[in-house]
Structure 1
């Protein structure tokens, strides 16, 4: 597992997963005050993941074609699709907790709580490892991880202030 994790952390998809995680966290936070049934929430997250992934590919195709004045190649679309899948995984990640809630394993409120905190944790995890791999000390890496997790915490704080 460690080898797979290290390979993932060294991949191009890390930034895309973080980006998707922030979108998923924003959706969870926005919907929490009027929660749908947990199965509906899981489907909304999956649907949002698909929509964002398709938008990711489309926007990249448009960007490449307008910049280069050439159609994208199949290989380029393949790379774009890999990045889009990573974004989708980040968006859909919290759906797991809502599926568990739909199965009666978690209460709906617990699913929302775990989804929010795991989103913050995931964002902080990637921030920590980015710092470590770029040469920061363990303490400096913890600080960077905590600072990037504040992005998600800011979403949660904003929601609590306006609700």
Structure 2
């Protein structure tokens, strides 16, 4: 497990998962004021993940061909697809909690709460490990993880102020 986690944390996909997590958190926060059912919320998160993943591929495709003035290669397509899956995973991650809600394991309010907190935790987790891998001592890395998680917390606070 540790080796696979370290391999993931050293991959190109980390930034894409974080990006997707922020999008997923924004969707959860935006819909929490007038929530749909758990099943609908899970479908919206997965649908958004697919849409954002496809947008990621399309943007990279257009950017690559305009930048290089050459067709996209198979290797480039593979990297684009890997990045899209990573973004999609980040967006869809909270859908798990809404699926549990749809199965009556969690109630809707709990699913929203867990989705918000897990999104903040995931963003903070990646911030912590980014700092550690860059050589920061544990306390400084923890501070960085907390600071980046505060970005997501700011989104939640903003939503509560305007609702």
TM-score (norm 1): 0.99
Q: Give per-residue Cα distances to partners, 1:62-92, cap 9 Å, x unaligned.
A: 0011111111111101101001100000000
Deviation at 1:151, TM superposition (A): 1.1
Q: Structure 2, unaligned stretches of length 5 or more? A: none
Aligned equivalents of 1:69, 1:8: Cα separation in 2: 32
Q: Equivalent residue for 2:141?
A: 141
Q: Equivalent residue for 2:12?
A: 12
- Map of 1:8-157 to 2, 5 A cutoff? 8-157=8-157
* 3-state SS of paired residue (1:36): coil
Aligned length in residues: 163
Aligned equivalents of 1:46, 1:133: Cα separation in 2: 31
TM-score (norm 2): 0.99
Moved >6 Å (runs of 4+): none
Aligned equivalents of 2:69, 2:10: Cα separation in 1: 31
Aligned equivalents of 2:2, 2:75: Cα separation in 1: 29
- Note the aligned Cα RMSD (angstroms): 0.5
Q: Equivalent residue for 1:3?
A: 3
Q: Which moved more, 1:71-80 or 1:110-119?
A: 71-80
Deviation at 1:2, TM superposition (A): 1.0
Q: Which moved more, 1:69-78 or 1:49-58?
A: 69-78
